[in-house]
Amino acid sequence: MKEDAAKICRRLLDSREVDGVLGLEMVGNIPTPKVFAQADDLGRFEVEPVFPIVTLLRNIWPFTGKERIALVVRGCHELAIKELAKREIVDLKRIHMVGMACSEEQARTCRCLRPYPTKTDIGTKVKGVEDELAKSLRKMTLEERGRFWEEQFKKCNKCYGCSENCPVCVCEDCALEDCAFVRTEGIPPSKAFHIIRAYHVADKCIECGECERSCPVAIPLRSLQRMLADDIKELFGYQAGMDDRQSPVVTTLEDAPLKEESE
């Protein structure tokens, strides 16, 4: 897979279609993020493991001028870039996406419903995997669910990995870093931390699972986001990344009437 990706990126760089390729470089055994500006460097180009490449793109974006950037995107990365473009944080005209389908094993680890981008340049599409944990959580009673999450949240050491690595956690003034909402001292943090984090990304979460992957204590945040995505679809008929319209939480009722309105 990485040879195909490197070949495509080399062609893009040679033809001057893009000015840089954002990707991973093998330094020893460690994949390290890098912007490749010379085609000759692409020898150490790497596409595995899954990496929060969109978060990187978002972080370097203010430092770019007119350069066009290419990057190898998975299904989730593509949706994340779309969500960022919708909020005018990045400009789609300056981004070249090379689509890559995930392997079956990867889709299973991520419990991903859509492990492929719209346009697949590398790899073959595999079928999506249902999130069994989210399903079983739905079947539990309220008390059981409360106990489950309480046990999980007890492990949290407030490292902020889930929000720092999230590609769509974009507020400039972070509510999680505001001591009015989350106290500075104390571990584990209060439930406010988790409720506010989930609420803030709810309307833009594209379910890449980066929160869960970054979590050092393995809280199954991916399943929480899955349940929340279902809720949003039920309430507003909206799917982050797939819909071109604005997030329903920041619009008036006209384009998405709720049930309560008809009363």
Partner 1 sequence: MPEFEPRILAFCCNWCSYAGADLAGVSRLQMPPNIHIIRVMCSGNVKPEYVVKSLVEGVDGVLVLGCHIGDCHYISGNHRTIKRFALLERLMDDLGIDKRRIRVDWVSASEGEKFQKVVSEFVAQVKSLGPNDIRRDAA
- Binding residues for partner 1, per CB under 8 A? 137, 140, 142-150, 153, 175, 180-181, 183, 186, 188-192, 194-196, 198-199, 202-203, 224, 227-228, 231-232, 235-236, 248-253, 256, 258, 260-261
Cβ closer to partner 1: 28 or 186? 186
31 phi, psi to nearest 5 deg: -70, 125
Query: Cβ neighbours of residue 52 under 8 Å, at least 6 residues apart?
Result: 165, 166, 167, 208, 210, 214
Query: What's at 32, amino acid-wise?
Result: T
Rg of the chain's alpha carbons, rounded to an integer?
A: 19
Least gap, CB of 182 to partner 1 (angstroms): 9
Least gap, CB of 211 to partner 1 (angstroms): 15
Least gap, CB of 171 to partner 1 (angstroms): 11
Cβ closer to partner 1: 57 or 211? 211
Least gap, CB of 199 to partner 1 (angstroms): 6
Least gap, CB of 194 to partner 1 (angstroms): 7
Alpha-carbon 91 to chain mean position:
17
Least gap, CB of 242 to partner 1 (angstroms): 18
Please state, in angstroms and as integers, the Cα–Cα distance from residue 156 to each residue in 161, 175, 215, 216, following that order.
11, 18, 9, 9
Please state, in angstroms and as integers, the Cα–Cα distance from residue 24 to each residue in 37, 48, 100, 126, 131, following that order.
13, 8, 14, 24, 29
Cβ closer to partner 1: 195 or 242? 195
Cβ closer to partner 1: 125 or 145? 145
Burial class of residue 84 (count of CB atoms within 10 Å of its CB; 0-12, 13-18, 19+): buried
Query: What's at 97, amino acid-wise?
Result: M
Residue length of the chain: 263
State the Cα–Cα distance between residues 225 and 82, nearest whole angstrom.
Answer: 18
71 phi, psi to nearest 5 deg: -155, 150
Cβ closer to partner 1: 24 or 156? 156
Cβ closer to partner 1: 17 or 199? 199
Which residues is 97 bridged to in the sheet? 71
